Homo-oligomer: A and B are copies of this chain.
Amino acid sequence: MKKLLTKWHRILAPRATILVSTVNREGVSNAAPFSFVMPVSIDPPLIAFASVEARHTLKNIRATGEFVVNIPSVDLLRETWICGKSFPEGVSEIEQAGLTAVPSEKVRSPRIKECLANLECLLEAEYQAGDHWIVVGRIAAIGVREGLFDGEAFDLVTAQPLMHVSSKDFASLGEVMTYTE
């Protein structure tokens, strides 16, 4: 039973993958991938992700009160993985991965230009939950790649978001099916 529970989270997969970009107090940018993520409130717009204590992402969010949720497509699998590697604090994973940091509208944390969408967030709350922290962000500004989102429908088939399975395994979108009576 203990062994079964150790990797239990792999049962809830694939999961949406995000790159969270932040800056430290000195303004040096950081980005790291997370797949423990969910929307939590439509209005006000709140998103939550879970992070272990040791991540620079969490340290930066606590220092600045803000972050950006960037959504990568499947063609950014390699870049997403590189952002997850351990670099010394002060080294930008965004540069190391060959991605482009561009200024955000409402926060100092940069948007990652190559991503499908960028959700600029202000830290709303954080809750300790076992070996992770639940970080809740209030979305202050949204950028979406031209043509993907009309405010109602998000064009997933064109977007081809990257999903995480476990470790180095990722997944792509399959078929989109509509329920009919």
Contact = CB atoms under 8 A, between A and B. Distances in A.
Interface string A140-180: 00101000010111101000010101101111111111111
A48 B38 contact: yes
Interface residues of A, number: 73
A11 B178 CA distance: 18
- Interface of A, helix, strand, loop or mixed by DSSP: strand
Nearest to A50: B40
Nearest to A129: B40
Interface string A30-46: 00000011111111111
B169 A42 contact: no
A72 to B, nearest CB: 12
A102 interface: no
A16 interface: yes
Given A5-B45, A149-B4, A176-B170, A12 B39 contact: yes
Contacts of A116: 11
A20 interface: no
Report the 7 A-B pairs with minimum CB-CB distance, sorted nearest first: A41-B130, A172-B174, A9-B39, A174-B174, A168-B179, A10-B154, A40-B50
Interface of A: 3-16, 18, 36-50, 71, 74, 77-78, 81, 116-117, 119, 124-125, 127, 129-132, 134, 136, 139, 142, 144, 149, 151-154, 156, 161, 163, 165-166, 168-180
